[in-house]
Structure 1
Amino acid sequence: MNKIKVLVVDDSITIRNILTSILAQESEIEVVGEAEDPYDAREKIKQLNPDVLTLDVEMPKMDGLTFLANLMRLRPMPVVMLSTLTTKGADTTLAALETGAVDYITKPDVEALMAERDSFRQTLVTKLKDAAGINLKNLKLSKSLTAKQDLRELPFAGSGRRNHLIAIGASTGGTEAIKSILMCLPPTSPAVVITQHIPVTFSARFANRLNACCPMAVQEARHGQKVHPGNVYIAPGDKHLKIEQRGGVLFCLLEDSPEVNRHKPAVDVLFDSLVPVAGNVQAVLLTGMGQDGARGMLNLKQQGARTLIQNQASSLVWGMPGKAYALNAHTEQYPLGDIAATLLDFALLKRGQMKEVLNVNE
């Protein structure tokens, strides 16, 4: 089997040496070169034809975002960003995902790395292998999905059912997939609760960025917060999000318990919490590696929820929705661009009416 060819792009020789030495231990990966700045990287890409890039966000001569935008325009390829866990780093990394980066990994602190080398190596190797398997034609799919003005401006008076809820789970590729759906939902839509695998320093920034561009009000969920239509609640990056019904009212609950499926927040935790109100739930599982959410989706389906998965052709990574498909946990599957319309269609309009308005094909 051919090795995955990796080009390491970073202005720090220390970081380049660390990444190269870690990856040298992997039989399925070969570091074919190193680059100290974007201009050096451009020449190395031409010479070495790597399968995947690791790219530092902040570099001299040309910043990582500008280089990434040029790369996605001229020679799209899988890129894993190296990000700092700061507010600035979070914003830049989220912008990189919008631009076309596949994933990101926390830029290692040299001292901390010595104590957690194995954990970092496992995460780095997994992300590079996942990135190498990305379908390039889907690399910037969600960038091409702009909000449909006719859907957002449709006179949608809200769901006819009290406490109707849309629950979304996602991982790799999910930030842009979620954005493409929310940008198409009018401000009168049923409430949306979301678990996206994301670090704690990123989740609030992610919610803020969505709130700035989406018709619904988007926020990071708070413990004990009431769930209202027209609002989107995103799980914080270090807490599990659950939904509980008390006295006919839905509330967000945040739980600081162990990881589930190696994730915190975990989609299965959110989905399992919705089983008591399953008959009033539409659960959606989007692009992402692994299997988180598949079992929870099956539980919801068995209790009468409508369960949707993103289809393989439109998924950046068909891991989580693919696992749900294998378990027959879904009632339906759709291309990413059709999901918003069918959610609204089911919530209020007669079957097919929304698709007729939008000319969306099954």
Structure 2
Amino acid sequence: MSIKVLVVDDSALIREVLSRMLSRDGDIVVVGTATDPIDAREKIKALDPDVVTLDIEMPNMNGLAFLEKLMRLRPTPVVMVSTLTKKGASETLLALELGAVDFVAKPSAEFEGGIEAFGAGLRDKIRAAAKSDVRGRAIGRADAPRMSIKTAAAPNGALIALGASTGGVEAIRTVLAELPADCPPVVIAQHMPAGFTNRFAARLDELCALTVVEAADRMPLVAGHAYVARGDYHLRVERSSGQLKARLAQDDLASGHRPSVDVLFESVARTVGPLAVGAILTGMGRDGARGLKLMRDAGAYTVGQNQATALVYGMPRVAFEEGAVVEQAPLEAIAGRLANALVRLKTAA
């Protein structure tokens, strides 16, 4: 079965480029294009696409306003096509909060890897979006209970590690927002390109009790803080002079990604061992499963997001099948599971 896509953009050139790129491998069919949200509304009704690509700046109705209406009235997988600017990054993160599955940055003249790399990335994101459960997520959000976590106090040297891909922006926000300010340092690998992770960290900082920053090389990792891997850099944890620190590097892609969840988790297993706790969240592919298994083998508590709440049950599924997780849990329960594991470590110490 081909994946049916509707391309929505006011630029004829972008509509042509996206249509050509999406049709390259034969498993994706562009069933139509639309010039603005009003045009898109009618074509969604007529063509029933599996996935919609959506620009933000368009005539007649802002793309964000259209997205909010679409997700409320007819939940449909949406991939945003964003400009790589500070304003564009902020609007893209808002789109993900409103229910968009993922985003791509519009290619520019200096786009690394060229237009072919852009097209390959876009097709992968469309395939992931087609497998996503946007309707289930909308229902799950409404029904999810909220439990207050009073403490996540842990012994010195403890650490929380989180990894995610497609759907992870919202999943990570959900977990971090539940964690209290007394938790140990949190390190995060989210598949996201350069130019967006700083704004992602700033947005999380606005919404969470924790202080959230984009990681910098050799930055000390301290309690009550969370550190987001910088786009296009691997994040590792090392111990130096008795202090946990972040290390950033641009060595080769790992598991097809930079930042890679595997790279982060492997460093946590090696450096922190049984004082770590980790969670693998929604995402397509298998990045993180190997690293999380190393964490579990080193004595860490590990949890995977369950299928019912994962927007894309790819990475958590592989981790579960390979024995990398101690247990699976609904997204809304993961912060509580991590906190309980940390309290047990504190008690044991």
Both proteins in one fold, TM over 0.5 = yes
Q: Is the contact made by 1:311 and 1:334 (CA closer than 8 Å) also made in structure 2?
A: yes
The 5 A counterparts of 1:42-61 are 42-61=41-60
How many residues are paired up? 345
Match of 2:327 among 324, 332, 343: 332
Distance 1:248 1:145 in 2: 44
Q: Displacement, 1:322?
A: 1.1
Q: Distance in 2 between matches of 1:193 and 1:350?
A: 18
1:239 aligns with 2:238: no
Higher RCO, Cα 8 Å, sep 6+: 2
Match of 1:131 in 2: 129
Deviation at residue 350 of structure 1 after TM alignment: 9.4
**Structure 1 CA distance for aligned equivalents of residues 152 and 258 of structure 2:** 35
Q: Which amino acid aligns with 1:68?
A: L
Say if 2:148 and 2:178, in contact at 8 Å, map to a contact too.
Answer: no
Q: Which amino acid aligns with 1:199?
A: P
Which of 270, 281, 286 is matched with 1:291 structurally? 286
Q: Give CA-to-partner distance per residue, 1:283-317, whole Å, 9 cap, x none.
A: 11111111111111111111111111111111111
- Structure 2 CA distance for partners of 1:349 and 1:141, relative to 1, 3 Å: farther
Q: What TM-score results when the alignment is normalised by the length of structure 1?
A: 0.90
Q: Find the counterpart in structure 2 of residue 307 from structure 1.
A: 302
Q: For residue 253 of structure 1, what is the aligned residue in structure 2?
A: 247
Matched, 1:217 2:211: yes
SS of the residue aligned with 1:304?
coil
Alignment check: 8 A CA contact 1:145 1:337 kept: no
Paired with 1:199 and 1:157, the residues of 2 have a C-alpha distance of 31
Partner of 1:359: none
Residue equivalent to 2:189: 195
| CA spacing shift, 1:145–1:269, aligned 2, 3 Å | farther
What is residue 101 of structure 1 aligned with on the other side?
100
Q: Which stretch of the first structure deviates more once superposed, 115-124 or 252-261?
A: 115-124
The root-mean-square deviation of aligned C-alpha atoms, in Å, is 2.1
Matched, 1:281 2:308: no
1:136-182, CA deviations, whole angstroms, 9 ceiling, x for partnerless residues? 3334467548894732xx2x2722x1111110011100010000011
CA distance in structure 1 between the partners assigned to 2:204 and 2:69 by the alignment: 24
Q: Which residue of 2 aligns with 1:22?
A: 21
Match of 1:205? 199
The one-letter code matched in structure 1 to 2:289 is: A
In the TM superposition, what are the counterparts of 1:54-133 in structure 2 within 5 Å?
A: 54-109=53-108, 111=109, 116-133=114-131
| 2:260 corresponding residue in structure 1 | 266
Task: State the one-letter code of the partner of 1:215.
Answer: A
Deviation of the 1:193 alpha carbon: 0.8
Residues in 1 aligned to 2:148 and 2:254: alpha-carbon distance in whole angstroms: 40
Q: SS of the counterpart of 2:283? A: coil
Q: Match of 1:150?
A: 148
Counterpart of 1:118 in structure 2: which amino acid? E
User: Is the 8 Å Cα contact of residues 142 and 180 (structure 1) preserved in structure 2?
Assistant: no
- CA change 1:230–1:115 in 2 (3 A) is closer
Q: Structure 1 residues 75 and 157, CA, compared in 2 at 3 Å: closer, same or farther? A: closer
Structure 2 CA distance, aligned partners of 1:200 and 1:212? 21
Matched-pair contact (CA < 8 Å) for 2:157–2:275: yes
TM-score by length of 2: 0.93
Measure the CA separation in 2 of the matches of 1:106 and 1:147: 35
Q: Distance in 1 between matches of 2:230 and 2:121?
A: 21
Q: 1:336 to 1:22 in 2, by over 3 A?
A: same
Which amino acid is the alignment partner of residue 246 of structure 2?
C
SS in 2 for 1:15: helix
Whole-angstrom CA distance in 2 between matches of 1:196 and 1:210: 13
